[in-house]
Structure 1
């Protein structure tokens, strides 16, 4: 392994290894139905996104923060008159999200199985600790990973710390994910390769421009293309 260009490959989890955003979208649609008597759907969604952005620094990423933002939005939309039944409905949708079955994305199982034979794999994900641990356990992918890092945010400092601890440092590491903002741009800033795997649904907060001029930026259509890309580097 020491003769390779790469020693370590990091993987994002939500919408890289398994479906995630589509369940948030379905929950948001149900949320707008709960408040249909007070405002139209687009207005409710707009206010919810504002609340989510505002609350990230308080609650972080994940379902619990999303649920609290829905409750806050309901209070604002109804000017403090939100019925208890609506609050109960919001809490129910949050619990449903926390118990939703895990659906792995195409090519994940075989790609991780093959790469784990030659590289140190580490899952690097944001979100609620218990929820991410649950999803990893239910996915059946845990045995492929040398380490799992559930972090509050993803920055260049985060990647330098993790890849210095796991493997040969950030220069000999690669980060794979669907979020340019969280997975790709900061990993490249840390000195690693960043492999962008677009997902049809990515939270708007995670959108930034592709760093196309960065020498270590790569883009693939799906994880089934990752092994071939790595062979070209190594």
Structure 2
């Protein structure tokens, strides 16, 4: 914490941004940037997944002081849920009040095509892991309310930005799975019956931790592939990165628009 605070001083970020697989380009849009490699931050591991750089980026975006996380910690890498949530706790301690999360996900809803952007309305935690289990971390709410984890007002704001920018934006439920293997056809059928519209391997631990710290959350999934049994292509991480590259223009404009439109405290 002290290392990050000293490195970004005198900046005081009000908005945090979490960059998902292949979405690190947004970090390059941060102005007057200070980059802090994870290797220099105590407790931060080095991401082992292609498309995750491994650095915090402090600066301004649309005139707003931001702190971007380029490279997240996935549970399938063997990390404890508390480690996956560590950057979110850093954001809160540094004064951020809202976090914009992005991820790459498989599409379950049949109308979704690779390249679709989905605003997350809610999630189903099938990772069966929770960053709040164990001793209470100072600053965390022990029993946070998860009835509106993806802030309804911020979702309305995101929809307004998308409409103004003429960016097609769907909305749905995200299922969080542990990974790293992709889901089986039977698992996708189960997720459909549970009400999931997309599936991925991140975001859920971070949002739980964010809510425990009182951070408002808004999250966008880039649908990079059809889930198992719903498309012809063999699922691969290469496909994920390819699709993320293709839609980065729309996603970048959407995230920038959300940051610009967020209420200033």
Aligning the two structures, in what range does the TM-score lie when normalised by the shorter sequence? Answer: 0.3 to 0.5
Greater C-alpha radius of gyration: 1
Structure (1/2) with the larger strand percentage: 2
Q: TM-score, normalised by structure 2?
A: 0.31
